[in-house]
Chains A and B, each alone.
Chain A
């Protein structure tokens, strides 16, 4: 049973570019959440998707957007990248209402 998978593992972009990160949830899970973890900090909640809709959003600008597909996988898009967007981006999946999440290994984004 595969856990949460994320791609790519690492990514290097330059300021102003756009990036798309991908996540496949653990089998049987229907909810996907995205978190940003800056170096030396705790993860910060970006948003959560359930039934292909954004159900909850953290304190992140509209440059951060997402999508959930019918197979429950999800994408995180970040436009107009800033140096401060450099971080580990973690995807977590869960079953709505069960209230604990499994995390993926993350995508390390570096913005130059």
Chain B
């Protein structure tokens, strides 16, 4: 069975600090997809990134970067120079490739608080 663990329940940092959100996953499939979503107080999940299991290249998008390491089954998310607007709950999720359907398995989320 697939599982996603986000061990950090809540992180609080001061604005402009760098912060890393951890994600560890479990799956028996060799082909799978990993995701990060942001959930602001409004409740709507906002897609941030998707990675497939064959692409271990790290990715940077502005202040956001992602580190995917299959050897440790981790897909960590770093925000550089954090801003108050980054405050939200962040979810890591996993989708296995079999059968075409792609229901997501989410972690419990990390509540990120950026203090001014």
Count, chain A residues at interface, CB 8 A: 29
Q: Does A23 lie at the interface of the complex (its beta carbon under 8 Å from any beta carbon of B)?
A: no
* A47 and B104 alpha carbons, distance in the complex (Å): 10
Q: What string of 1s and 0s marks CB contacts (under 8 Å) between A96-109 and chain B?
A: 11011111111010
Residues A100 and B108 in contact in the complex (CB < 8 Å), given A48-B102, A50-B101, A105-B42: no
Count, chain B residues at interface, CB 8 A: 27
* A99 close to B101 (CB less than 8 A): no
> What is the count of residue pairs linking A and B with beta-carbon distances less than 8 angstroms?
68
* A45 close to B100 (CB less than 8 A): no
Q: Does A55 lie at the interface of the complex (its beta carbon under 8 Å from any beta carbon of B)?
A: yes
In the assembled complex, the CB of A13 is this many whole angstroms from the nearest CB of chain B, namely 19
* A48 and B24 alpha carbons, distance in the complex (Å): 25
* A43 close to B43 (CB less than 8 A): no
Q: Does A42 lie at the interface of the complex (its beta carbon under 8 Å from any beta carbon of B)?
A: yes
* B44 close to A106 (CB less than 8 A): yes
* A44 and B105 alpha carbons, distance in the complex (Å): 7
Taking CB atoms, residues of chain A closer than 8 Å to B105 are 45
